[in-house]
Amino acid sequence: DIQLTQSPPSLSASVGDRVTITCRAGRSISGYLNWYQQKPGKAPRLLIYAASSLESGVPSRFSGSGSGTDFTLTISSLQPEDFATYYCQQSYGTPLTFGGGTKVEIK
């Protein structure tokens, strides 16, 4: 199985801050990395697919980068509705796997 390690596991930030979350794969997954946002009691929501493509309807303050084993999700200016848990997920090989999550909390 391809392990995905997210860091940090949690972070505290203020509205307007730039936030960066990283996801490291146990082996190269090319660009087959997706990012999701999940709020309590809700299903995950797709933000970024194929490492850097913004899903339709997702605000442009979200961006993704990386390839191979190292990937980044960036929120350029954190908004109140962005406080949530973020997961990366690889679809390079089966089983599809998810990272452990990064919880973004209000400072």
Near another protein by CB under 8 A, which window of 15-23, 40-48, 61-69, 76-84? 40-48
Q: Which of 14, 43, 81, 107 binds another protein (CB under 8 A)?
A: 43
Would you say 48 and 65 are in contact if contact means Cβ atoms under 8 Å apart? no
Site string for another protein, 67-106 (x = CB under 8 A): --------------------x-x-xx-xxxxxxxx-----
Q: What is the C-alpha to C-alpha distance for residues 107 and 95, in angstroms, rounded to an integer?
A: 36
The reply on whether position 49 binds another protein by CB under 8 A is yes
Q: Is the CA virtual torsion 22, 23, 26, 30 positive or negative?
A: negative
Give the phi and the psi of residue 44 in degrees, each rounded to 5.
-60, 155
Q: What is the C-alpha to C-alpha distance for residues 7 and 56, in angstroms, rounded to an integer?
A: 26
The reply on whether position 37 binds another protein by CB under 8 A is no
Shortest approach of another protein to residue 100 CB, angstroms?
Answer: 5
